[in-house]
Amino acid sequence: MAGTVVFDLDGTLADTSADLIAAANACFQARGLGDLLDVAADQLIAFHGGRAMLRAGYARIPADTLLPPGAEDQDYPLLLDHYAANIARHTRLYPGVDAALEALAGQNHRLAVCTNKPERLAEALLRELGIRDRFASLIGGDTLPVRKPDPRPYQAAVAAAGGEVAASFLLGDTDTDRKTAAAAKVRVALVSFGPEGPGIARLEPDALLRHFDELPALASGWLG
């Protein structure tokens, strides 16, 4: 085997923002607050997770609207339940994912997923998208007691795939992924077609991926 390519999920393999925002808005609707997040404008918030979406929505309610104590803790399980029931209604793989994964396998690379999405939801989503069998391992945000940017989930994903950290790299879309790679002492490529677009270059990753068509050549150059 040549090496291991580790993928983030949301915002890297698939655009999940619309389904994530719909789940948060379902919580706001249940409180009579309407849709507080916008599918187009709030994509970046969505990729920071469920609690980040809830907090962003609460911050937009009128000053005289009172939330009960512990609203976030009350709403978070509801958000997850709504999301699980509608996990791939609008979610789509980014262009070129299938072909890139096939090409990487043809280069004898191991493939893994390391995400901060809860493991059961990540498993369900990858199966709905038809690509779960492409990956030798999956580590979710609750698989271990710690999550990215702690390096241990990344290391566990590589180990579970049968690889070695020294012969691996991470493909992601956020500063969390950049920090994870730095902590694990591996290279990181960030996608420039995610929610932040080309502006992600500000994080100075080892490489920018403009399209999945570029990934096999990048992996060949970095991993042999």
Catalytic positions, please? 8
CA Rg, the chain, in Å?
18
Backbone dihedral angles phi then psi of residue 64, each to the nearest 5 degrees: -90, 5
Q: What are phi and psi of 10, to 5 degrees?
A: -65, 125
Question: H helices then E strands: how many in the chain?
Answer: 9, 8
Q: Report the C-alpha gap between 168 and 165 in whole angstroms.
A: 5
Instruction: Give one DSSP letter per residue of 203-217, joined into a string.
Output: G--SEEESSGGGHHH
Rounded CA gap, 156 and 80, in Å? 25
Q: Which of 187, 199, 210, 220 is nearest to 94 (CA)?
A: 210
